Amino acid sequence: MSAPPELPPIVSRAFDVSRKAGYVSFCRNETGRLLATLAATRQGTLAEFGTGCGVGTAWLRSGVQTDARIISAELDAKLAGAAAEIFVDDPSVEVLAADWSTLRDQGPFSLLFLDSGTPSEVGVDSIAELVESGGIVVLDDFVPCEMWPPITGGRVDTLREQWLTDERFTAVEVMIAPDASAIIATRR
């Protein structure tokens, strides 16, 4: 047995900011490592809907290898301000205190992390045109489920079903931990 890999320094910094703000609704490290891995394949503009305190943004930044830029929108101005501090010296990252819908005209995106926590807003129809061909959408916080259609809380999980079957995307649900899964959907 050995210790898990170290956190990238920018992610540690984001955790420090979260701790100071008393904010705990950040993505788990397994999702973060997935985001970093996917970001490492990207150019152009990556976006995040729902910044929180910047942990997911930091994971994305840790993976980006090129001159790609990252924009992230957070509705709560205090959280957005705290997250923006993490990247104050980094011109490739912009955190906006805004509803994510204000980023609509900044696409198309090469990667889009949908993490605003409002499933009804991030259905395939409202997102598909924001993603470039070959672009990747990531959604997390699902509970792995062997049934089809997928069930969450005793009901058919229509969001997950939509994302996994829409013809505009090739999509897969991957388990990132025994109790957590994410959807990765690539725009055709």
Ligand X SMILES: C[S@@+](CC[C@H](N)C(=O)[O-])C[C@H]1O[C@@H](n2cnc3c(N)ncnc32)[C@H](O)[C@@H]1O
CB atoms within 10 A of CB 56: 26
**Quick check: 79 binds ligand X (CB under 6 A)?**
yes
Only one of the segments 68-76, 130-138, 160-168, 172-180 lies at the binding site for ligand X (rule: CB under 6 A); that segment is: 68-76
Query: How far apart are alpha carbons 187 and 166 in whole angstroms?
Result: 10
Residue 119 or 149 having the CB closest to ligand X: 119
**Quick check: 62 binds ligand X (CB under 6 A)?**
no
117, 126, 172, 177: residue in contact with ligand X (rule CB under 6 A): 117
Residue 85 or 149 having the CB closest to ligand X: 85
156, 118 contact by CB (below 8 A): no
- From residue 62, how far is each of 39, 67, 80, 163, 184 by CA, in Å? 8, 13, 19, 27, 19
10, 36, 55, 71: residue in contact with ligand X (rule CB under 6 A): 55
12, 118, 133, 165: residue in contact with ligand X (rule CB under 6 A): 118
Comparing CA positions, the residue from 174, 172, 158, 173 lying closest to residue 125 is 158
Provide, rounded to whole angstroms, the least separation between the CB of residue 8 and ligand X: 14
Beta bridge partners of 114: 49, 139
The contact set with ligand X (CB under 6 A) reads: 25-27, 48-52, 55-56, 73-76, 79, 99-100, 115-118
